[in-house]
Structures are given as C-alpha cells and as structure tokens.
Amino acid sequence: MPLLHAPALHVHHVSVRFGEAEVLSDVSFDLDAGEFLAIVGPNGAGKSTLIKVALDLVTPLTGHAALFGEDAGRHPERVGYVPQLKTFDRTFPATVLELVVSGLRRSWPAWVRAAERDAARAALAQVGAEKLATRTLPKLSGGELQRAFLARALVRRPSLVLLDEPATGVDFLAEHDLYDLLERYQAVGGATVAMITHDLAAARYHASRVAVLNRRLHGFGTPDDVLCESCLKKAFGHLRHAHGIAV
C-alpha cells in the first residue's frame, strides 16, 4: 500500500559494491513530491548507480530505495527515465514515434495504434518536437534525440522523472530548453524531478534540492545551503582551477 504523503524518493542507508569497489556508502535522503533534485559530484561518484538503485536496476548491498512509499521497481509506469544518450545504439532502425510509443506501451511496438499515435504526438508537441515524429533515430542530432527521449519519458505522465546526464552532447541552448521543459512539466502536474548533472550553475538556478555525492552523501539541501565551498570541496577534493569555477 502506498503511504500517504510518502516522499517521492526515499533512499535509506544505501550501500553498493561492485566487486571490491565501494560505489555508494550509506547514502540516505528523502525527496518530497514536487521537488526538483540535482545530483552533482565528480566522475565515478556513484550518481548513475544511485539512479539505478531507484529504478531497481541495481540491488544495494545494504539499505533500500522506495518511490512514493513502495519498493523501487514496483510501479514502473509512475517513473519516466531519460538515460545517458551516449549509451544508445544510434543505428537502431526505429522512428521517433515508435520510440515514444515504447514509453507508453512498455514494450516495443510492431505497429502503432491510433490512440498511441495521438498520445505520442501530444508528448512530442509538449517538448517542441512534433516535427520529429516520422524521422528515424539515426538521422537525429544530439538535441533532437534528447527531446525524443524526454517525450518518451513524459508520454506516460510519470509522477517522478529521473534523468542521467541529459545535457551530455547537447549545446548550451538545448540544455536550457530541457530545464525549461522540465520546469513546465512540473508546474502543470506537480511531478518530481531528479537529475544528474555536471553543470553546477544549472543546479543552482533550476533545482530546489541538491545532493552532493562522492560515494557518500556530502550534502543534501537547498542550492544555497549545499553548493558552498566546504561542501563541494569535500565531494570533489579541490575546487580551484586557474580559470575558477562558476557555482
């Protein structure tokens, strides 16, 4: 049974090991419904692993994750996931419409029904990509592919949207368009967003909560509280480069 007023994402003493390597160590936090969480940290900090624990793709050694009061993986229809785009086979023969319908059907469509087509076109329109419907995936640019995957995630109207470095490989404008789209989606339906990013300025500007991670959770709170020098220094080891950093 879902708990009333349960957090959208509850991470409870989660530790993950891959062989000898400790990837996450005793990570705990609660993310309330309607929040926009940015997960920041250096490469290899366990950010993607944390998202995968929330998706029930990785089973933690200790601890657990729950979404809206129920075990992770129980209700995939409530979650929209945008994975790292660089992991995809860009040569796969598929149209954008089929990709979006796969998010609706949770299976790959051999053919697309009229109702599915309408829903997919509406989702594409929502992310400003209605013209991409009949295009094939190998023909898309990085920004177009990102919009297609976002439409795929949003077509089922999820209560929680999880994004793994969605801005990788896209230009500055496409990145900020993405954040605006997510904020609009949140404003309409009150959804929760959790996003991995390396862009600390974007985390400060768009997120309502920030998690600073480097195997351990070094900070969780509002951007003003968490994106401070001492907290970032603990996670990243050092902060200063000759050209400085913008936080």
Question: Which tokens go with 233?
Answer: 């220094």
Between CA 38 and CA 26 the distance in angstroms is 19
Contact between 18 and another protein (CB under 8 A)? no
Write down the least CB distance from residue 85 to another protein, Å.
11
Nearer to another protein (CB atom), residue 110 or residue 246: 110
Contact between 98 and another protein (CB under 8 A)? yes
User: Tokens 């309408």, residue?
Assistant: 118
Residues from 132 through 191 that contact another protein (CB under 8 A): 136
Closest CA to 161 of 134, 137, 179: 179
Between CA 85 and CA 200 the distance in angstroms is 20
Residues from 25 through 64 that contact another protein (CB under 8 A): 55-57
**# binding residues, another protein (CB under 8 A):** 25
45, with CB counted inside 10 A (0-12, 13-18, 19+), is: buried
Closest CA to 206 of 214, 217, 219, 195: 195
Closest CA to 163 of 87, 45, 51: 51
Among the listed residues 15, 36, 60, 95, the single contact to another protein using CB under 8 A:
95
Span from 19-27, 75-83, 186-194, 208-216 in contact with another protein (CB under 8 A):
75-83
Nearer to another protein (CB atom), residue 98 or residue 165: 98
Among the listed residues 41, 83, 158, 223, the single contact to another protein using CB under 8 A:
83
Residue ranges binding another protein (CB under 8 A): 55-57, 73, 76, 79, 81, 83, 87-89, 92-95, 98, 102, 105-111, 136
